[in-house]
Amino acid sequence: MKNVLNYINGEYLPPVADRWIDNYNPSSGEVYGQIPDSDKEDVALAYQAAKEAFSSWSNTTLEERSQILLKISQLILDNLDELAKAETLDNGKPISLSKNVDIPRAASNFSFFAKAITQFASEAHESVGLQAMNYTMRQPIGVVGCISPWNLPLYLFTWKIAPALAAGNCVVAKPSEVTPMTAYLLGKICNEAGLPKGVLNIVNGLGHTTGQAIVDHPNIKAISFTGGTKTGAQIAKLAAPMFKKLSLELGGKNPNIIFSDCNYEEMLQTTVRSSFANQGQICLCGSRIFVEKPIYEKFKKDFVEAVSMLKIGNPFNTDSDLGALVSKEHLEKVKSYIESAKDFGGEILFGGKTVNVANHENGYYLQPTIIEVKSNQCKLNQEEIFGPVVTIMPFDSEEEVLEMANDVSYGLSATLWTQNLDRTMRMTKRLQAGIVWVNTWVLRDLRTPFGGVKSSGVGREGGFEALRFFTEPKNICIKYQE
Ligand code: NAD
């Protein structure tokens, strides 16, 4: 059994109430360890440790802070194999993804913010003629809460923690209860890197207990959350009367818009990835595919053929393109969407069935699934499924596809495939999304603002946006005599 403990004040601790939750291996369906079912008392201990560490950490020089974060980054890379295996075991994602994307990106999150903090600056405003000078101080908030989901476990956990620490805050963090393992291993790395005790504290447990206790804690003044839209709404409701600073990165139902003049081969290859990478469990996946009529039939045929070549299997096999879905509950949820397709005239063009993987018969495997739908108004196009399921639909005009792309409650990202510059300019301006990719997908530059509009969230992460979120601006106005 591989058990997880809380990481508080630099030490690994069992939960105060000694209650535990089973942790499943999605690729086999077996319990392989237990994690703390933490409550308010554990969060209180974590807060206390963070509070005590704050005065010293917020006064370290930027150089010192930066060096420690760079060391954490390097140690993540030094332990890449162990971390990648742990991520795949916990989440079911292909080992190739864990090794090449998730863990390297966690390292980059630390190295990026280690450097960004040395370049972060604030403004000065001279009140000309009034003999006064204003400058803005950007001070760390104090103790902040970071709560992350299961789809990109260490990747998103560190995407929050790294800027929070770089800005001089101390952190109480909670990884998803479904995928706690790599966050657990991060504690050891932080100790080895010399991160002072209490600067980062990791509490494990369920959302409505442990997560809620973090949000509810009166002295945890800011919450950075990534997860589902419903959860985001609950957090906002609880935090608003306490006037907490909130960053909410929520769900998506992203359009992938394909015009006939696109670079077809590149579009096809990328669309397979943007549909099914990580079993479609990425908030940025293009789950609504709209194809211009002249190439619709060709695309349908080629896309089905390309997707039929994808290999679903044990995520530890290096040639598996798709591994297991994260949990049995999630598999059931995704299946129920597929089963509902026929209720509104949807036609399954490929997939739709669970897959039996040899020696892993109880794992949560599902075929990549393509459903042709008749209307953007159907449930499959309006609700986030967050699994290996995409819909496809033809369109006639720019105006029509724009209306369908925007006619959804979400607004995280959009992808556009065209070689026409004027169309690119017109459409990128009008697409309701926080991020628009043109002729590519998830090409990330960590300096750019990341986040969504509408029900996809509030606020932006990434680059200086994250450092602004994790600091309070203070205006100092000095009057002087001439
Ligand atoms: P979730 O909302 O169920 O859980 C996310 C985290 O919040 C977990 O750690 C969970 O324990 C915690 N939580 C749950 N209820 C809580 C509460 N009441 N108070 C405090 N914390 C609580 O989401 P999930 O199922 O883990 O992740 C999938 C969702 O995340 C999808 O909707 C996906 O689109 C979204 N997501 C968004 C982004 C983005 O950047 N916008 C990135 C990845 C995933």
Q: If DSSP codes are grouped into helix, strand and coil, which group holds residue 133?
A: strand
Strand partners, 366: 354
Backbone angles phi, psi at 253, to 5 degrees: -145, 75
Ligand 1 atom, smallest distance to 175 CA: 9
Which pLDDT belongs to residue 344? Answer: 86
Distance from Cα 231 to the centre of ligand 1, integer Å: 6
- CB-CB contact of 449 with 463 (8 Å): yes
Distance from Cα 452 to the centre of ligand 1, integer Å: 15
Q: 335-364: b or e for each residue (b if 16 or more CB lie within 10 Å)?
A: bebbeebeeeebebbbbbeebebeebeebb
Taking CA atoms only, the protein residue closest to ligand 1 atom 21 is 211
Both tokens assigned to 99: 């090794």
pLDDT tens readout for residues 71-128: 999 999 999 999 999 999 999 999 999 999 999 999 999 999 999 999 999 999 999 9
Strand partners, 256: 289, 415
Strand partners, 354: 366
Ligand 1 contact via 412 beta carbon (within 6 Å): yes
Cα within 13 Å of Cα(80), Cβ side: 18
* Mean per-residue pLDDT of the chain: 98
pLDDT tens readout for residues 327-360: 999 999 999 999 999 998 999 999 999 999 999 9
Tell me which long-range contacts 1-5 makes (C-beta under 8 A, separation of at least 24): 1/32, 1/33, 1/34, 2/32, 2/33, 2/181, 3/33, 3/34, 3/35, 4/33, 4/34, 4/35, 4/36, 4/180, 4/181, 4/184, 4/204, 5/36, 5/184, 5/204
347 is catalytic: no
Could you list the pLDDT tens digit for every one of the 482 residues in the chain?
899 999 999 999 999 999 999 999 999 999 999 999 999 999 999 999 999 999 999 999 999 999 999 999 999 999 999 999 999 999 999 999 999 999 999 999 999 999 999 999 999 999 999 999 999 999 999 999 999 999 999 999 999 999 999 999 999 999 999 999 999 999 999 999 999 999 999 999 999 999 999 999 999 999 999 999 999 999 999 999 999 999 999 999 999 999 999 999 999 999 999 999 999 999 999 999 999 999 999 999 999 999 999 999 999 999 999 999 999 999 999 999 999 999 989 999 999 999 999 999 999 999 999 999 999 999 999 999 999 999 999 999 999 999 999 999 999 999 999 999 999 999 999 999 999 999 999 999 999 999 999 999 999 999 999 999 999 999 999 999 99
- Distances from the Cα of 379 to the Cα of 76, 213, 256, 420, angstroms: 41, 34, 17, 32
Going by C-beta distance under 8 Å and a sequence separation of 6 or more, which residues neighbour residue 306?
268, 269, 272
Distance from Cα 91 to the centre of ligand 1, integer Å: 15
**Which one of the listed residues 87, 177, 249, 372 is annotated catalytic?**
249
Q: If DSSP codes are grouped into helix, strand and coil, which group holds residue 436?
A: strand
Ligand 1 contact via 91 beta carbon (within 6 Å): no
Distance CA 432, CA 405 (A): 8
